[in-house]
Structure 1
Amino acid sequence: TPIKRAWIWHYQRDDRKIFIKIGNILNLNPSVVSRNFNKLERQGSDPDFYAKTSISERPRLITPHAE
């Protein structure tokens, strides 16, 4: 299930619980989410989606129309 980035942005950056929460929703290890979270933050708070790629276990940023 994709998550609106604006929803993720609501959480504090140093809150490790968000990595667990995102990981549970995307079925990813929290450490994978953590490694990719900086990329997400650099994009700002635009309402794109954070979704699991179908190619690998690394999450990626996609636009709302990509899937």
Structure 2
Amino acid sequence: MKPPDEMPATLGCTAPYARRAGAAGLPDASVAVLLDAGAAALLAANVADIARAQMAANGARQRVELLV
């Protein structure tokens, strides 16, 4: 896994959240989105569409985890 500061800002995963995801030891195939409750509520309706677009862009299956 890349060092947390080198993780891309994917699916709303900003640098502080990337550091938390890296610290949690999430596997490379996962895209972790660590959000506060308000941001999670805003993203929840769109996360499936975002995940499908991300998988299509990568040409591979990925597991998307929403950790709240």
Q: Smaller-chain TM-score range?
A: 0.3 to 0.5
TM-score, normalised relative to structure 1: 0.34
Structure number, greater radius of gyration = 2
TM-score, normalised relative to structure 2: 0.33
Higher normalized helix content (fraction of residues): 2
